[in-house]
């Protein structure tokens, strides 16, 4: 058993060669299964954190109690916790299935309920400040997130070959999470900007020819005041789109979510929409109050 005081001290420690070999083999297995690079990076990053915590204890020597004690002490948000647990289950499931271990401590991990809807759309003020501070390239990144609903990873890998023209205009073949693709209709002005960039990646860089998703997110985070991030621009798109169209399933398709429950977590429903709903159910029109007028 590892003393509790030692677990906290080992978070920043380098992990042992045994861990390094296991993580490398795990990544190879994920690639062989066709997992996209983003998924492999996420899963291995989570396991590397586990390795830093428990090294020099080997990956196959961790007990159920030790794993539970560590994750139970982490102040993760529900979605972060679900993601870490999924990585640990995948890692130890692979190790058990390939006879690298006879025990699977990840089986002791409890299920975690999805977090409650907590949409955080970028306010108008922040959005305008961001556009004013952005360069031409950064402004296009902002537009792809705020006007088209793209994730930072999807913006990073967008390529001229992904542009599609049909009888109604231009669309973009978006390469989403988990290797899934979807077609997102483009605004004419966004399409025109993308076409002007010419052939190749829209945001060239040193990661397979394009900017890394992390760098795209960092560029916009530097522009946005306070704790606002590029992802809040996607929440802003979702909230505006739902308020305008009221079609959760169409919005789910555009955002590339596997479940409408995920889409719901992005959408901020305006107060006046809820008020109109209550009055409509009662068959009573909503009366606009004059400024300073109190309820009867």
Q: Which CATH class is domain 124-273?
A: mainly alpha
Q: Which residue in the list 81, 89, 177, 182 is annotated as catalytic? A: 177
Catalytic residue among 10, 234, 235, 236: 234
Confidence of residue 144 (pLDDT cuts 50, 70, 90): very high
- Residue 218's CB is within 10 A of a number of other CB atoms, namely 14
The residue among 242 and 24 whose pLDDT is bigger is 24
Q: pTM of the entire structure?
A: 0.67
- The arithmetic mean of pLDDT across residues 52-66, rounded, is 93
Told to judge if 201 belongs to the known catalytic residues of this protein, a careful annotator would answer no
Distance CA 147, CA 156 (A): 16
Cross-strand pairs, 170: 165
Decide if pLDDT at 30 tops 50. Answer: yes
Residue 13 has pLDDT above 60, yes or no: no
CATH 1.10.150.130, domain 4-108, yes or no: yes
Tokens of 77: 């948000």
**Predicted local distance difference test score (pLDDT) of residue 5:** 39
**Where, residue-wise, is CATH 1.10.443.10 in the chain?**
124-273
- Quote the pLDDT of residue 58: 93
Rounded Cα distance between 35 and 268, Å, is: 32
287 is catalytic: no
pLDDT at 40 over 70: yes
151 is known as an active-site residue: yes
According to the model, what pLDDT value does residue 281 have? 73
Contacts of 250 (CB under 8 A, 6+ apart): none
SS3 167: coil
Which residues fall within 8 angstroms of residue 269, CB to CB, at 6 or more apart? Answer: 239, 242, 243
Catalytic-labelled residue, pool 90, 175, 257, 264: 257
Least confident of 80-84, 105-109, 146-150, 291-295: 291-295
Q: Which two tokens stand for residue 84?
A: 């870490």
Q: Nearest Cα to 50, choosing from 101, 11, 5, 82?
A: 11
Q: In whole angstroms, what is the distance from residue 255 CA to residue 105 CA?
A: 35
The mean predicted confidence, pLDDT, of the chain is: 86
Region 202-217: mean pLDDT is 93
Is the pLDDT confidence value at 150 over 90?
A: yes
Which candidate in 92, 127, 201, 266 is catalytic? 266
- For residue 243, report the phi and psi dihedrals to the nearest 5 degrees: -60, -35
Asked whether residue 129 carries a pLDDT value surpassing 50, the answer given is yes
The rounded distance, in Å, linking the Cα atoms of 248 and 264 is 8
Which residue ranges does the chain devote to CATH 1.10.150.130? 4-108
* Residue 290 pLDDT: 57
Active site residue 288: no
Predicted local distance difference test score (pLDDT) of residue 116: 62
Q: Which of 90, 151, 235, 265 is catalytic?
A: 151
pLDDT at residue 218 greater than cutoff 90: yes
């Amino acid at each position: 058993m590892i003393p509790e005081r030692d677990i906290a001290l080992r978070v920043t420690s380098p992990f042992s060669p045994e861990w390094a070999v296991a993580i490398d083999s795990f990544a190879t297995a994920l690639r062989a299964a066709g997992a996209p690079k983003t998924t492999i990076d996420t899963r291995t990053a989570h396991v590397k954190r586990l390795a830093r915590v428990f090294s020099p204890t080997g990956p196959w020597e961790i007990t159920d109690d030790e794993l539970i004690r560590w994750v139970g002490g982490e102040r993760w948000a529900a979605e972060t916790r679900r993601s870490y647990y999924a990585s640990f289950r995948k890692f130890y499931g692979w190790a058990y299935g390939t006879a690298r271990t006879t025990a699977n401590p990840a089986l002791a991990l409890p299920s975690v309920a999805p977090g409650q809807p907590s949409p955080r759309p970028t306010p108008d003020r922040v959005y305008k400040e961001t556009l004013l501070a952005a360069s031409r390239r950064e402004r296009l990144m902002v537009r792809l997130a705020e006007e088209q609903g793209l994730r930072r990873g999807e913006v990073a890998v967008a390529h001229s070959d992904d542009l599609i023209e049909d009888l109604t205009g231009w669309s973009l073949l978006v390469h989403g999470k988990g290797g899934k693709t979807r077609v997102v209709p483009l605004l004419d002005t966004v399409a025109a900007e993308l076409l002007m960039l010419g052939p190749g990646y829209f945001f060239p860089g040193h990661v397979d020819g394009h900017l890394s998703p992390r760098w795209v997110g960092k560029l916009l985070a530097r522009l946005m005041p306070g704790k606002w991030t590029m992802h809040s621009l996607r929440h802003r798109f979702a909230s505006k789109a739902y308020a305008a169209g009221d079609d959760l399933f169409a919005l789910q398709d555009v955002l590339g979510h596997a479940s409408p429950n995920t889409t719901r977590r992005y959408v901020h429903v305006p107060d006046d929409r809820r008020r109109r709903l209550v009055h409509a159910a009662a068959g009573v029109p909503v009366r606009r109050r004059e400024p300073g007028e109190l309820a009867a």
